[in-house]
A and B are shown apart, each in its own frame.
Chain A
């Protein structure tokens, strides 16, 4: 019995049956809840300690359950293929193997897929920011006929999902000669109603005095936008940028139907093809999954605040 299997035994002591795992997990949850409930009686010092322990217990168990699928994928990607199928399962890689990553990167084209995803996502985010800032500026600061109607039309676009329009959009893209090109992957998403809506809200939050002061300076619109509006609205712009990065990077249906070869496939679609082509080599699938997931995880850790802002933009106002 080698070291990995032994660690697997000890770490994975609850693996022999899912039932025993369930027993232990639910036992801990009951204990946590019990401690929380018990914390209502007794002396204050004990109460506080019981509540604290109970809460941490629950937090840890739930965190483990939520993280388990991701954790096990990372672990499996570092094991040899015979270790992946060993039972009881190995839950910690003592001697990580990195070879499946290089296989996924080269033979599995993950490098190319990731590059494509970055190109497509960057173009979409940049385009969306530009069009949204422009439209939001017009809606917030300019006067023109049919402003309300136009704004409602912008909002209405949020009610028409891609799942409804993809059939016609595909034939449009084909007739434009954009099938299987970066143009086809990006142009339909260069403007969104949500972006214009979010930034208009934020622009309207600008103090009126500030607008008037800028006007008295006889600063042009460009100066006003650059030196007054954007610096103040920067949190919203950042939120929109991160939010649309997550959306564009994770896209599935459209890149699936508008690309036909590895040169153009984004990483989400590439992962599907990798999975179908490496069914005898699960390590490569695990490594590919980790590679495909990594960029958004890094962004989540770096920009959690901005992302949360973008995701909850609609919720705050009800």
Chain B
């Protein structure tokens, strides 16, 4: 980044530092170096708070997690942890618990992301109309964006309760085993709660994407007599591809990081069937007191998130139509 750009040289007193007035007296005589120095200092001061926070709470922990994954946590506190090289990493990565968590996480992403995407798109297409009262429906469809993960989870915790839950009653499951305790259904139930909670977000993203599609384009295809599905496939979806791409990336990251719904609804159970990676890490730290194993899993989570995000960006970028 060169500091001697056009604007800088043309007006010597332009970026005169924090107090412009002090320099107003002798703008021309002001040495350029000093001015550049002042700008540098200002930039430093403006960026410092963010840099400190990122350094302490983002980059340092990332490095330390990688470092910690080489050390085995002793079985009793106050003993020194010892360096184990790659043996702990290897051991964790091949352990049954870790592979199970990986599988559960993958299933969870598969259950939540496509479903949320399709439902969000459906609602958005339906609400993309000039109708009386459409604003009300749009607010309703966005509304779950205001339910935090804890609120959504507690709502469904009560709805699925075998004694008082209405959903258990309507499904004819009253007084029986809760779906949250049923190994076959627990992950599906947690996924459904997640889809509902993120439906508002999906709807908002899809609606914004639809609004960016020029109306005349839609109208033109209507007059052409393009059938609804053909119109969807050949006109709307290509125009919407940047939005779909964004929604997939955001949705995947959200699902990979899911924790609250697991903590409130199932605590990883029954029989580890909902023990997603983040919950497994939490469990290692707070229940097993094994920071070393937790560190390995954290690094794995980081790499998976990274691979997913970068992979999606690369894969989808080729198919995305950026034409506007």
Contact = CB atoms under 8 A, between A and B. Distances in A.
Interface of A: 15, 17-18, 21, 52, 55-56, 58-59, 62-63, 66-67, 69-70, 72-73, 76, 84-85, 87, 89, 130-132, 134-135, 137-138, 141-148, 150, 153-154, 157, 159-161, 163-165, 167-169, 172, 187-188, 190-191, 193, 196, 211-212, 215-216, 218-223, 246, 249-250, 252-253, 256-257, 268-269, 271-272, 275, 282, 285-286, 288-289, 292-293, 296-297, 299-301, 304, 307-308, 311-312, 314-316, 318
B166 A89 contact: yes
A297 B28 CA distance: 57
Nearest to A195: B50
A254 B64 CA distance: 18
Contact of A138 (B47, B137, B209): B47
A287 B207 CA distance: 32
B129 interface: yes
A167 B294 CA distance: 8
A161 B299 CA distance: 11
B9 to A, nearest CB: 12
A18 B263 contact: no
A220 B19 contact: yes
A135 B62 contact: no
B36 to A, nearest CB: 8
Interface of B: 1-3, 5, 7-8, 11, 13-21, 23-24, 27, 36, 39-40, 42-44, 46-47, 49-51, 53-54, 56-62, 64-65, 68, 123, 126-127, 129, 131, 137, 139-152, 154-159, 161, 163-164, 166, 169-172, 174, 196, 199, 201, 204-205, 207-209, 212, 242-243, 245-247, 250, 253, 257, 259-260, 263-264, 278, 281-282, 285-286, 291, 294-295, 298-299, 301-302, 305-306, 309, 320, 322
Contacts of B291: 167
A167 B46 contact: no
B286 A172 contact: no
Nearest to A252: B260
Contact of A165 (B13, B23, B57): B57
B170 A315 contact: no
B137 A63 contact: yes
Summarize B's interface: helix, strand, loop or mixed: helix
A250 B149 contact: yes
A39 B149 CA distance: 41
A275 to B, nearest CB: 5
Given A89-B166, A131-B53, A312-B204, A165 B58 contact: yes
B42 A315 contact: no
B57 to A, nearest CB: 4
Contacts of A269: 150
18 contacts: A21-B170, A66-B144, A69-B159, A70-B144, A70-B155, A141-B15, A144-B3, A147-B1, A161-B302, A164-B302, A215-B14, A218-B27, A220-B17, A252-B149, A253-B259, A268-B148, A275-B154, A315-B243
Given A164-B301, A221-B42, A134 B47 contact: yes
Contacts of A67: 140, 143
B43 A138 contact: yes
A144 B44 contact: yes
A316 B299 CA distance: 31
Nearest to A271: B150
Nearest to A309: B208
Contacts of B21: 218, 220
Contacts of B19: 220, 222
A191 B42 contact: no
Given A138-B46, A191-B53, A289-B154, A318 B39 contact: no
B261 to A, nearest CB: 9
A51 to B, nearest CB: 10
Pairs A-B, 7 closest by C-beta atoms = A220-B20, A18-B170, A250-B148, A168-B61, A318-B242, A165-B61, A252-B260
